[in-house]
Amino acid sequence: MRHPRLTRRQFGLSSLAAAVPSLGLASTYPDRPITFICPWPAGGTADTLMRALCTAAAKPLGQPVVVENKAGASGMLGLKALASARPDGHTIGQVPISLTRFAQLGTVQLDPMKDLTYLARVSGQTFGIAVRADSPYKTLKELVAAAKAAPGKITYASAGIGGATHVGMEEFAHTAGVQFNHIPYKGGAPALQDLLGGQVDALADSSSWAPHVKAGKLRLLGTWGARRTVDFPDAPTLKELGWDVVVDAPNGIGAPRGLEPAVEKRLREAFKAAANSAEFLAACDKIDAPPMYLDGPDYAAYIAATYKRDTQLIERLKLRELLAKG
């Protein structure tokens, strides 16, 4: 049977009709609550910040943004779940910057530049080394001296093998010429609890230690930023103490690849508003986390640059060997 030939007007109407479902999805998005995957345990600094961010983002989106914790594998378990989700904008989440290392190390089978849609970079982190208030180590130089006297004896907890705190601490140890005994956890919250409980000598983490330092339960020996923090001006930086190490691992937001452009735009706009909201900035201020907002395309460029830097870091710190040892 011969099909009648469409006129130019009929063809145009047909094409428009085919596009309507896509336009309809964008215009009604989001039509239900959005799941936000946090790849860390509840109670840590990243979890606290992401919850404040999601509460603020829910307002311009007109739907709740519900945080779901999927911890494990130094943040990669949750990230893998995010990348594998349906790209309809109803599953988004935090992207650990350590993805740029783990992708090269083979820990996670993801291509940072192809498998995710980057929506925003929102804030930095204040990293530091803390000990219990009753610890014999009053300064970071005393901790280093003890590690030199007994290589591998001083234990420190981190949020997991290959993550920012582990890599930062190993870079510091390499620069200081010492060897610590690394005890990895599934996130900063359980690592902190074991420091408070006396199971480890020190903690390398983002500012989960902050309220406990202020309460007098912990002592902050040093921070890893380029300058001293506002809340802890008496704590020196590694660089000030003579070790040329600066560590920063910003928090970013992403989605699976394949988002419709209109949905991506809606999410970018919502998280720009959230990152600049009073409630999120207050949450950042509470844990001394510097706001570091970047829009999605600029954040993607930042990821690409970090990927290149991590290529060199992996070789210099022999991270493949460290991961193989567990």
How far is it, in rounded angstroms, from Cα 256 to Cα 93?
9
Average pLDDT, stretch 216-242? 94
136, two tokens: 């014999």
For residue 294, the number of C-alpha atoms closer than 13 Å in the C-beta half-sphere is 17
- pLDDT tens profile 55-69: 999 999 999 999 999
Across-strand partners of 155? Answer: 181
All residues at 6 or more sequence positions from 263 whose CB lies less than 8 Å from its CB, including other chains: 25, 26, 29, 88, 89
pLDDT at 235 over 80: yes
- pLDDT tens profile 172-185: 999 999 999 999 99
Measure Cα distances from 139 to 62, 70, 144, 154, 233 in Å. 49, 36, 9, 14, 15
Position 8 scores a pLDDT of 42
- pLDDT tens profile 93-130: 999 998 999 999 998 999 999 999 999 999 988 899 99
Phi/psi of residue 21, each to 5°? -55, -40
All residues at 6 or more sequence positions from 34 whose CB lies less than 8 Å from its CB, including other chains: 61, 63, 64, 65, 66, 89, 90, 91, 92
DSSP class of 208:
G
- pLDDT tens profile 25-54: 557 899 999 999 999 989 888 899 999 999
Measure Cα distances from 86 to 75, 82, 260, 280, 292 in Å. 20, 9, 12, 28, 28
Task: Tell me the pLDDT band of 248, cut-offs 50, 70 and 90.
Answer: confident
Q: What percent of the chain has pLDDT over 70?
A: 92
The answer to whether 304 touches 297, Cβ cutoff 8 Å, is no
Note the pTM of the prediction, 2 decimals: 0.77
146, two tokens: 């003890």
E runs forming strands in 201-298: 202-206, 218-223, 251-256, 291-295
